[in-house]
Amino acid sequence: MVTNGSDQSRLAALDVEHPEWRPLLALIDAASREAQRQDWARVIPAPEHDGADGRPLIDGAVVSVPPKLVGRWVRQILALAAAAGTEIAPLAHAIDAGWLDPSLLFEAAISHDVERFHVIARVDTDYRGVLRGLAALIAMPMLQACERAWRHRVPAAWPHGYCPICGAWPSLAETRGLDGGRHLRCGCCGADWPAQPLRCPFCGETDHQLLGALVSAEVVERYAIDVCDGCQGYLKAFTTLSPIRPVDVLLEDLATLVLDMAALERDYRRPATRGRAITVGVIAEPQRFWNRLFARRP
C-alpha cells in the first residue's frame, strides 16, 4: 500500500536506495524546490477557456514572465544536467554565450513539444531522450503553479486520458481509498483526475478482451501494470489510501522503474507523442518602470 505519511521524504529514500541515481535526483530536487517559489505563482496566466471542449486549460495561454526568472532557472537546470554527466554542455554554453534565448526553450518545454525543443537547441546529436527529461523539468515549476491555481477549474467529468491542465499523458494511475476509485496522475504538473476503471487512457479502448494487467505475486497488493493490446500502451497502477502529492508523482514514477522494464520486455510502450497538442505563448514581462517611479515619494 502506498502511503504519504512517511517521516522520510520520497526523495531521501530514493537517494539511499539508489545512490547511482543521485545526479538525476539532484535535478528533480532542484525542480521541486523551484516549483515552490512564489515567483511562478505571480506569473500564472489567465485561462482562455473552461476546458469544456476537451482543451487542456493551459492551451492558448500567454505567459508573461520576467526574462531574468526564466533565464536563471534554465541556466540552473542545464548546469546541473551538465554536472551530472549528460552531454548537454553545448546547449548550456549556447545559453551562456547569448546565442540561444532561454525563453524559447521554456516555451517549447511548457508545450511538451520535444521536437521543437530539439530544433531550438541546435544540437547535431539526437539527444531526444535527454531533452525530453530536461523539458519536463524546465516546465515543472510553471506547470505545477498552474495546477495549484487551476485544479478547481477542471471539469468534474473530464472524459479524456490526457491531463486537463497541461495535456500530457498520465504517468500513473491510483486506485484510491476504500471505494477504490481510479484516478490518473500527471507527472508534469501533478494534476489528478478521475477515470473509468476499464478504459485505456491512450486510445480509449474499452473492450475487456484487449485490456489486462501485468502483476507480480510479490507485489500484487501494491502495484500492477495496466496494458492495452489495442495500442500496446501501458500505465503503472498503484493502490493508495490518499493521493500522492503532486510534487511526488514524478518521484513515484521513477521509483517504480522496474515496472517499466517489465512492460517493455513484453513489448508494451508509453506513447511517444503528446497527449494533446497545445500552444502556449511566452512573452517577456514589461518593465514596471512607471509603477516604480510613481510609487516613490520624496
**Average pLDDT, integer, range 291-297:** 49
pLDDT for 221 equals 61
Give the CA radius of gyration of the chain: 20
Nearest alpha-carbon partner for 68 in 36, 102, 34: 102
The three cell numbers locating residue 3: 502511503
* 109/273: higher pLDDT: 109
Q: Are 233 and 170 in contact (CB under 8 A)?
A: no
Report pLDDT digits (tens) over 52-90. 889 999 999 999 999 999 999 999 999 998 887 777 777
Report pLDDT digits (tens) over 108-128. 999 988 778 777 766 555 555
The three cell numbers locating residue 289: 518602470
Nearest alpha-carbon partner for 258 in 31, 11, 17, 10: 17
